[in-house]
């Protein structure tokens, strides 16, 4: 089994480290955030991700995972170093902030001696891997090799996506550099996971192309949701019908309040910024439309809420079901639900918000939203209810029972998943984004 380090204990790094340790590799995790390292060493996963806490406990007990904030420790105890630090959007620009990536490469290269492989997993602008490879060669010589191995995991399915990926992409400057990484992923490869060995630029672009395609698919269907609203068509039936064409596919065609999270929004902006730098602004201008359509979804929900409240938010209570950017996650980065909640609160409404996991995260920040521990608390005295993150638990709500709690039985389903008959049979008025009767 291999000796690995994982640099960066965010979503990607923790999941990757725990899964590699679960496969039997010896893994040491480093992060500059000492508190996070202490938490993890004590078996605490600092975010919600199904299956991860159990696997962390198991791998700590079996001794296959350890945590440190000392670069010398990882250089001495690992032969392969996975770079999993964040590349957030720069403030004041659409480009990616690369300081964590280059900072980590600088710190690591100071401590490397002898041969080692650095494996880049962070999402980066195309051209970064070539720059890092040159830096490593300069500082450490020819025995430190770089492989670019983009990550495709989805929050909420991070463990399964890491253990059973759709594909493995390895960007190399020399094919033999891929061998050590192939050994690390032997379990997935023997299960038949497709492997693509490419150059650096292709590997970097595969990642951003995939996220740009997914974001485009969502904005495409959301533009049609507006057209459906304008014409009386039904966006879910439309998506079902075009989705039967296997060239199109049904997944990522769910219209609603739009995409959010720590990846899709910032990745399309960074891709467009990089393409513009490379003189390809016109070809990538469509990503501005993708981003704008996505932002317009939140405005649509706010407008619908205003309509339901006769244009006046003062002294009105809005109940919001969902704060995370997607179900089975407590991540509120760029969350459409939270943007809508904040806009309504900023304009005078009392916003009572519930989320099965993300409320805990919101409590650690300053907020003028009323953070509710139960669905009932959120719905009490509501003038209108918004359903904005499609947690399974919201589909199980008994509309008749909660009808007694609210002032008005009016619900706007911003995810188009609640059953119309269930709600209307209990005397609720329910509306959707892109479905008739809205
Ligand atoms: C996304 C990609 O799906 C992963 O493949 C990628 O590895 C990851 O980004 C990353 O770059 O690290 P994730 O951010 O976990 O994963 O979330 P998604 O499942 O892609 O959902 C993104 C957003 O789109 C959510 O807000 C979701 O509610 C929304 N969405 C998704 C829709 O509005 N409609 C859909 O049909 C699907």
pLDDT tens for each residue of 147-193: 999 999 999 999 999 999 999 999 999 999 999 999 999 999 999 99
Q: Is the CB of 317 under 6 A from ligand 1?
A: no
Tell me the torsion sign for CA atoms 29, 32, 36, 39: positive
**Residues 278 and 323 grouped into a single domain:** no
Number of domains in the chain: 3
**Residues 130 and 212 grouped into a single domain:** no
Tell me the average pLDDT of the chain: 97
This prediction's pTM: 0.96
- HSE-CB of 398 using CA atoms within 13 angstroms: 3
Distances (CA, A) of 290 to 138, 184, 208, 222, 263: 40, 37, 14, 10, 14
Residue appearing with tokens 């594909």: 167
**Residues 65 and 145 grouped into a single domain:** yes
**Residues 311 and 425 grouped into a single domain:** yes
**Residues 279 and 315 grouped into a single domain:** no
Asked, for residue 436, whether it belongs to a domain, the answer is: no
Q: Whose CA is nearest to atom 35 of ligand 1?
A: 252
Q: How far is the CA of 158 from the centre of ligand 1 (A)?
A: 12
**Residues 213 and 176 grouped into a single domain:** no
Last residue of a domain, one of 233, 266, 290: 290
The preferred substitution site among 206, 258, 259 for testing ligand 1, maximizing ligand atoms within 8 Å of CB, is 259
Q: Is the CB of 121 under 6 A from ligand 1?
A: no
Asked, for residue 369, whether it belongs to a domain, the answer is: yes
- HSE-CB of 80 using CA atoms within 13 angstroms: 25
**Residues 77 and 164 grouped into a single domain:** yes
- The answer to whether residues 2 and 180 touch, using CB atoms and an 8 Å cutoff, is yes
Asked, for residue 270, whether it belongs to a domain, the answer is: yes
* Atom nearest to 254 CA in ligand 1: 36
Q: How far is the CA of 50 from the centre of ligand 1 (A)?
A: 16
**Residues 302 and 281 grouped into a single domain:** no
CATH code assigned at 188: 3.40.50.720
* Rounded-to-integer distance, Cα 312 and Cα 14, Å: 45
pLDDT class of 75 with cuts at 50, 70, 90: very high
pLDDT class of 248 with cuts at 50, 70, 90: very high
pLDDT class of 227 with cuts at 50, 70, 90: very high
**Residues 46 and 159 grouped into a single domain:** yes
Last residue of a domain, one of 259, 290, 321: 290
Asked, for residue 359, whether it belongs to a domain, the answer is: yes
Q: Is the CB of 378 under 6 A from ligand 1?
A: no
What pLDDT sits at residue 50?
94
Q: Is the CB of 157 under 6 A from ligand 1?
A: no
* Atom nearest to 153 CA in ligand 1: 7
Q: How far is the CA of 255 from the centre of ligand 1 (A)?
A: 13
- The answer to whether residues 16 and 91 touch, using CB atoms and an 8 Å cutoff, is no
For residue 308, give the H/E element and its range.
Answer: helix 286-308
Last residue of a domain, one of 198, 220, 253: 198
What pLDDT sits at residue 437?
73
Asked, for residue 437, whether it belongs to a domain, the answer is: no
**Residues 162 and 238 grouped into a single domain:** no
* Atom nearest to 267 CA in ligand 1: 11
By residue range, what is the domain housing residue 401? Answer: 297-431
Distances (CA, A) of 381 to 268, 359, 395, 397: 40, 20, 20, 17
Q: How far is the CA of 115 from the centre of ligand 1 (A)?
A: 37
Q: Whose CA is nearest to atom 28 of ligand 1?
A: 326
Mean pLDDT, rounded, for 207-229: 98
Mean pLDDT, rounded, for 401-414: 98
Dump the DSSP string for 337-354: HHHHHHHHHHTT-EEEEE
The preferred substitution site among 262, 322, 326 for testing ligand 1, maximizing ligand atoms within 8 Å of CB, is 326
Asked, for residue 223, whether it belongs to a domain, the answer is: yes
Asked, for residue 203, whether it belongs to a domain, the answer is: no
The yes-or-no verdict on residue 110 having pLDDT over 60 is: yes
Asked, for residue 378, whether it belongs to a domain, the answer is: yes
pLDDT tens for each residue of 314-368: 999 999 999 999 999 999 999 999 999 999 999 999 999 999 999 999 999 888 9
**Residues 256 and 114 grouped into a single domain:** no
Residues taking part in catalysis: 263
**Residues 342 and 405 grouped into a single domain:** yes
Mean pLDDT, rounded, for 221-247: 98
């Amino acid at each position: 089994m291999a000796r690995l380090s994982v640099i960066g204990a965010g979503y990607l790094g923790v999941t990757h480290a725990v899964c590699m340790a679960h496969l039997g590799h010896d893994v040491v995790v480093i992060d500059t955030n000492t508190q996070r390292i202490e938490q993890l060493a004590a078996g605490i996963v600092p975010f919600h991700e199904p299956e991860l806490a159990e696997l962390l406990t198991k791998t700590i007990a079996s001794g296959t995972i350890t945590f440190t904030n000392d670069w010398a420790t990882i250089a001495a105890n690992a032969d392969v170093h996975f770079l999993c630090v964040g590349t957030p959007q720069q403030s004041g620009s659409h480009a990616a902030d690369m300081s964590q990536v280059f900072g980590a490469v600088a710190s690591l290269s100071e401590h490397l001696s002898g041969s080692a492989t650095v494996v880049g997993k962070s999402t980066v602008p195309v051209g970064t891997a070539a720059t890092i490879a040159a830096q490593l060669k300069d500082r450490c010589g020819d025995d430190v090799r770089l492989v670019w191995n983009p990550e495709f995991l989805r929050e909420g399915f991070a463990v399964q996506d890491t253990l059973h990926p759709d594909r493995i992409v390895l960007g190399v400057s020399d094919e033999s550099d891929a061998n050590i990484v192939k050994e690390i992923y032997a379990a997935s490869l023997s299960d038949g996971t497709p492997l693509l060995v490419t150059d650096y630029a292709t590997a970097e672009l595969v990642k951003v192309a995939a996220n740009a395609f997914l974001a485009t698919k969502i904005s495409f269907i959301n533009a049609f949701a507006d057209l459906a609203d304008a014409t009386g068509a039904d966006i879910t039936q439309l998506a079902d019908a075009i989705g039967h064409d296997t060239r199109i596919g049904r997944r990522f065609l769910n219209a609603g309040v739009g995409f959010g999270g720590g990846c899709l929004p910032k990745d399309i902006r960074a891709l467009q910024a990089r393409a513009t730098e490379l003189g390809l602004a016109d070809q990538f201008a469509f990503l501005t439309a993708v981003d704008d359509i996505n932002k317009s979804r939140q405005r649509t929900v706010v407008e619908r809420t205003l309509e339901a409240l006769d244009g006046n938010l003062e002294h009105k209570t809005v109940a919001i079901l969902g704060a995370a950017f997607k179900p089975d996650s407590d991540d509120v980065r760029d969350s459409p639900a939270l943007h809508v909640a904040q806009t309504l609160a900023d304009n005078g409404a009392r916003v009572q918000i519930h989320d099965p996991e993300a409320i805990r995260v919101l409590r650690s920040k300053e907020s003028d939203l009323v953070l509710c521990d139960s669905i009932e608390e959120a719905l009490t005295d509501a003038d209108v209810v918004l359903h904005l993150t499609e947690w399974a638990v919201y589909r199980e709500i008994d509309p008749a029972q909660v009808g007694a709690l609210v002032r008005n039985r009016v619900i706007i389903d911003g995810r188009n998943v609640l059953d119309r008959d269930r709600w209307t049979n209990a005397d609720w008025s329910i509306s959707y984004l892109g479905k008739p009767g809205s």
